[in-house]
Amino acid sequence: MHKNENWHFGQFDNEKYILTTFNLKVEKEQKFRYEVTQNNLKYHTFILDSFDEHKTTDIMVLASHLNSLLNFGKVSVNTKYNCVEFVYYGDLVTYMLFPGEIRSDLRVHYDITLDCFWAFSNLIETDDDPVFVISELMRRKEENNNN
């Protein structure tokens, strides 16, 4: 699929994963990793590659708010490496039975990554309370759904 779409990617057969890069905004690219595990396809991307330690509490609160809204994947905060990631596991059997599902899940993973990236970037740039950031994200999503 990556080759058919002319996406830039690297394929690592021994480790069973594909690494590709997508734009999250102008001049901001992020790597997306798709890895075959025993029974799943793991979708993984970093939302924040690093953050200041003094922002840890706000970042954890925002991650918690996002996870309460998600029914696809999980936002995790790694306090050891000060990074935020978004991960989803899709069932390989489902993809074998319904090949179109993988494209749908790729799109949903990308769209949620965009929302998470916007939310965490907004939190870092504006220094707003996580509650205000999540409410603004929800307002933007509702506005987009109405258009």
pLDDT at 134 over 80: yes
Average pLDDT for 86-108: 93
Residue-level pLDDT at 2: 47
Interatomic CA distance for residues 143 and 132, integer angstroms: 16
Interatomic CA distance for residues 60 and 63, integer angstroms: 5
Tokens of 36: 């075959």
From edge to edge, which strands make up the β-sheet containing 74-78? 9-12, 17-25, 28-36, 40-48, 83-91, 74-78
Cα angle value 130/106/68 (rounded, 5°): 30
Residue-level pLDDT at 13: 62
**pLDDT, averaged across the chain:** 88
pLDDT at 12 over 70: no
Q: Is the pTM of this model over 0.85?
A: no
Interatomic CA distance for residues 57 and 130, integer angstroms: 10
pLDDT at 120 over 90: yes
Q: Where are the domains of the chain?
A: 9-146
Q: What 3-state DSSP class applies to 100?
A: helix
Q: pLDDT band at 83, cuts 50/70/90? A: very high
- Return phi, psi of residue 2, to 5°: -60, -40
Q: Which residues are within 8 A (CB) of 130 and not within 5 positions of it... i.e. 6 or more apart?
A: 58, 61, 62, 65, 123
Q: Which CATH class is domain 9-146?
A: alpha beta
Cβ pair 46, 85 in contact under 8 A: yes
- Taking only the tens place, the pLDDT of each residue in 32-81 is 889 988 899 999 999 999 999 999 999 999 999 999 999 999 999 999 99
